[in-house]
Amino acid sequence: MDPETLTAIDVHTHAEVSSRGNASLSDELGAASEAYFKVEGSRKPTLPEMAAYYRERNMAAVVFTVDAEHATGTPPVPNEEVAEAAAANPDVLIPFASVDPFRGRAGIRRARLLVEEYGVRGFKFHPSIQGFYPNDRMAYGLYEVIEETGTVALFHTGQTGIGAGVPGGGGIRLKYSNPMHVDDVAADFPHLKIILAHPSFPWQDEALAVATHKPGVHIDLSGWSPKYFPPQLVHYANSLLQDKVLFGSDYPVLTPDRWLADFDKLPIKDSVKPKILKTNAARLLGLTS
């Protein structure tokens, strides 16, 4: 992958359906997410279709599944399938993996295998769906592997559209996704590369504080149309955090086309836009020095 030839790097996209047709969310939770994001059409793109979609736009995409089988009972899209699709489309797809912290030592061994044999560059955690606090020592063995291998830990933060509107939120608890829980992780693993995913409503100020205070912590802007970004997020992206804020869409629930159209209307400095859209991610992912 040559980042010089790309227009942007989307650091947050989901593999939502496997080659066998199974989805990583139950029908109820998947439908709730689509309703929340007002997704048009229910067909989910396959990994090869995602590659073609981003190639048409001359963009690269970080792609991952979410392993929350312990809490949901639903198997994820296999990490190996994501990695193999990225290996078949190395010009546009960057593989991340997801390992449920409840998998214990087996999960730790699997994480190392996914890095060493499948070339994954990071790991996605969704504390609300997986049902754990990021600073739970149960997950620390996974963080040790991620830090040691120089890969990235990406944490969902803030409210989630998954389960929204379902009675009881589908059992999903928002409390796990306060970015202050990730602050403990950043303190205990000072060389771990971390991304706080999404504008972190209702904890936006907490996310900005953590990213400002901890050198290894970044913020991606996925999951929200930029026209809804809170003013303090735009201010920090333009100033103190201009080297630590990353373009992410949340495709397929939010398309990069829609996101970029709205982003162009924000008062982001011309000198900062290329950093957010590409160069910050290229550096964090080790695509450039």
pLDDT score, position 27: 65
Q: What average pLDDT does this structure show over 252-274?
A: 96
How distant, in Å, are the alpha carbons of 50, 95, 254 from that of 131? Answer: 28, 24, 24
- Let me know if residue 158 belongs to a domain: yes
Number of domains in the chain: 1
pLDDT score, position 47: 96
Q: What average pLDDT does this structure show over 22-48?
A: 69
The token duo for 96 is: 């991340």
pLDDT score, position 166: 87
Q: What average pLDDT does this structure show over 174-196?
A: 98
Q: pLDDT category, 274, cuts 50, 70, 90?
A: very high
Would you say 18 and 77 are in contact if contact means Cβ atoms under 8 Å apart?
yes
Over 90: is that where the pLDDT of 44 sits?
A: no
Domain enclosing residue 211, as ranges: 3-284
* pTM for the structure as a whole: 0.93
- Let me know if residue 289 belongs to a domain: no
Tally of helices (H runs) and strands (E runs) in the chain: 13, 8
Return the beta strands (E) in the chain as ranges. Answer: 8-14, 59-64, 93-95, 122-125, 152-156, 193-197, 217-220, 245-246
Q: pLDDT category, 32, cuts 50, 70, 90?
A: low
pLDDT score, position 180: 98
- Angle formed by the axes of helices 104-118 and 79-88, nearest 10°: 10
- Let me know if residue 279 belongs to a domain: yes
Over 60: is that where the pLDDT of 203 sits?
A: yes
How distant, in Å, are the alpha carbons of 147, 182, 240, 284 from that of 193? Answer: 7, 12, 18, 8
Residue type, 130: Q
Residue type, 120: V
Over 70: is that where the pLDDT of 50 sits?
A: yes
Would you say 197 and 157 are in contact if contact means Cβ atoms under 8 Å apart?
yes
Over 60: is that where the pLDDT of 183 sits?
A: yes
pLDDT score, position 21: 64
Q: pLDDT category, 164, cuts 50, 70, 90?
A: confident
Give the number of other CB atoms < 10 A from CB of residue 46. 16
CATH number of the domain enclosing 22: 3.20.20.140
* Per-residue 3-state assignment (H helix, E strand, C coil) for 34-91: HHHCCCCCCCCCCHHHHHHHHHHCCEEEEEECCCCHHHHCCCCCCHHHHHHHHHHCCC
Phi and psi, residue 172, nearest 5°:
-85, 130
